[in-house]
Amino acid sequence: MENRLVINGGKRLSGKVVVDGAKNSAVALIPAAILADSEVTIEGLPDISDVHTLYDIVSELGGSVKYDSQTAIIDPSAIVDMPLPNGNVKKLRASYYLMGALLGKFKKAVVGLPGGCYLGPRPIDQHIKGFEALGAKVTNEQGAIYLRAEKLRGARIYMDVVSVGATINIMLAAVLAEGKTVIENAAKEPEIIDVATLLSNMGANIKGAGTDTIRIIGVPNLHGCHHTIIPDRIEAGTYMIAAAAMGDGVEIQNVIPDHLEGITAKLAEMGVPLEISEDSIFVKKSTAFKKVDVKTYVYPGFPTDLQQPFTTLLTQAEGDSIVTDTIYPSRFKHVAELMRMGGQFKQNERTAVIYGKTPLSGARVTATDLRAGAALVIAGLLAEGTTEILGVEHIERGYGNIIQKLSALGADIYKEIAESNLA
């Protein structure tokens, strides 16, 4: 037996939902805080398992974390350069940010190869190329990455592939390096600006975050500061899709609309009426959906993280839609699960054709990764009858209080705890 989410479908949604801080920022901000010499306060971190895993890792390294639902105070002053070959680092993909942070702080690090959702090969070769350019020797020994440097010196680094993870990781390593680092063909996601803002508040000298060229002049040390995380554009987009699918009027609060242009454009193209305010988006009731084609791109294009939830919505469009994922071509494991619920698809490599409109019916399905889980939750809301979703732990990695938030909107959703977990 394992934990499952149970959804009795067909209930209409209405009301307000408040978006948490960005998961993809949080998992980089906490490692970034390690670089300071004194307390770093971060407001608005999401209450998700990935964040709690990082708190545990900071404690393992000798730091302390005090947190409540609003604020985390991270004190890195007693952190030591302890190797992290196994354990918590294996639980999340973003543990690779510990490489850049520990290398920057101690000029050495041992970090187990990261875990998280398997979305096909996501190599860290661009991260390693950046670390080597800064003067580190990098080896892979028994499934852990060993990084060693006598000193780190600024360098000009051209990214062969636009990578959010590598851009942030190189920034973390470079802020305490000697001299000037230039990252060319850098990723431009809002989360990169968020991490650069925290580092700048800590005393780093960073220019150009959010453009394709980031310039960093190394400083001798960094100090604590106060920082508020940006809202999670992927969580916001997920609730916008759920509201489009089953809403009678849902307001999504705590958003930065500029960060959501990729998804708002596609929802509007489908015929979903939206009212966009300064920090909220109201999704009005939709009566019919037009088919649309979607291609994922790096920011500001349509986000790969919303491809799977959006695919669920397209099962309700009139006509056939085509979804192409140019970022993670193997990110289509949700298709087989949606087919169990009555969805009709044709899939090859990086493209899926969604045949609409098809009614969905409840079934037992499995969330194979975080955003596939979100796709199945939306399918469960739409479906006639009861849907049971296994693999709940994937969903909890990225969506804080999802049951409470959807229940407050009118969904019939609850978590069934496996008896073995109650012991």
Q: Is 48 marked within a binding site?
A: no
Percent of the chain with pLDDT over 70: 97
Q: Is 125 marked within a binding site?
A: yes
Q: CB-based burial of residue 396 (10 Å sphere; 0-12 exposed, 13-18 middle, 19+ buried)?
A: buried
Structure tokens at 412: 């019939």
The whole-angstrom separation of Cα 192 and Cα 224 is 19
The whole-angstrom separation of Cα 116 and Cα 390 is 17
Q: What is the DSSP letter of 418?
A: P
Domain 4-20+231-416 has CATH 3.65.10.10: yes
Catalytic residue, candidates 42, 94, 117, 244: 117
The whole-angstrom separation of Cα 326 and Cα 345 is 18
Is the torsion defined by CA of 194, 195, 198, 203 positive or negative? Answer: negative
- Delimit the domains of the chain by residue range: 4-20+231-416, 23-228
CA trace torsion 254, 226, 78, 29 (10° rounding): 40
Written as one letter, the residue type at 322 is I
* Domains 4-20+231-416 and 23-228 in one fold: yes
The whole-angstrom separation of Cα 398 and Cα 107 is 31
Map tokens 């661009």 to a residue. 126
Query: What is the residue-averaged pLDDT of the chain?
Result: 95
In this predicted structure, which of 116-120, 162-166, 272-276, 288-292 has the lowest mean pLDDT?
Answer: 116-120
Using 50, 70 and 90 to split pLDDT, how confident is the model at 328? confident
Mean predicted confidence (pLDDT) in 145-160: 97
Q: What order do you get walking across the sheet with 71-75 strand by strand?
A: 64-67, 71-75, 40-43, 226-228
Using 50, 70 and 90 to split pLDDT, how confident is the model at 269? very high
**Contact at 8 Å (CB) between 180 and 207?**
no
Q: Is 225 a catalytic residue?
A: no
pLDDT digits (tens, 9 = 90+) for 336-392: 999 999 999 999 989 999 999 999 999 999 999 999 999 999 999 999 999 999 999
Q: Is 413 marked within a binding site?
A: no
pLDDT at 93: 80
Q: Does the pLDDT at position 421 exceed 80?
A: no
pLDDT at 227: 98
Q: CB-based burial of residue 419 (10 Å sphere; 0-12 exposed, 13-18 middle, 19+ buried)?
A: exposed
Q: Does the pLDDT at position 255 exceed 70?
A: yes
pLDDT at 311: 98
pLDDT at 120: 56
CA–CA distances in Å: residue 85 to residues 28, 57, 139, 243: 19, 12, 13, 42
Helix, strand, or coil here: 169? helix
The whole-angstrom separation of Cα 238 and Cα 400 is 12
Using 50, 70 and 90 to split pLDDT, how confident is the model at 330? confident
Q: Is 126 marked within a binding site?
A: yes
pLDDT at 349: 87
CATH class of 23-228: alpha beta
Q: Does the pLDDT at position 422 exceed 70?
A: no
Stretch (H or E) spanning 100: helix 97-106
Q: Is 4 marked within a binding site?
A: no
Structure tokens at 380: 């469960």
Interior angle at CA 213, CA 304 and CA 162, nearest 5: 30
End-to-end CA, the chain:
13
pLDDT digits (tens, 9 = 90+) for 88-147: 998 888 889 999 999 999 999 999 887 655 545 557 899 999 999 999 999 988 888 999
Mean predicted confidence (pLDDT) in 171-181: 98
Q: Is 276 marked within a binding site?
A: no
Stretch (H or E) spanning 24: helix 23-33
Mean predicted confidence (pLDDT) in 251-279: 98
Q: Is 46 marked within a binding site?
A: no
pLDDT at 395: 96
Q: Is 114 marked within a binding site?
A: no
DSSP 294-342: EEE-STTSB-GGGHHHHHHHHTTEEEEEEEEESS-TT--HHHHHHHHTT
pLDDT at 121: 54
Mean predicted confidence (pLDDT) in 191-198: 98
Q: Is 369 marked within a binding site?
A: no
pLDDT at 224: 98
The whole-angstrom separation of Cα 352 and Cα 355 is 10
Residue 366: φ, ψ to 5°? -125, 130
Written as one letter, the residue type at 407 is S
Structure tokens at 405: 């938030």
Question: How many beta carbons lie within 10 A of that of residue 351, not counting itself?
Answer: 16
pLDDT at 329: 84
CA–CA distances in Å: residue 392 to residues 23, 197, 370, 406: 17, 33, 9, 15
Q: What is the largest CA-CA distance in the chain?
A: 64
> Which alpha helices (H) appear in 134-178, and where do they start and end?
164-174
Mean predicted confidence (pLDDT) in 313-331: 95
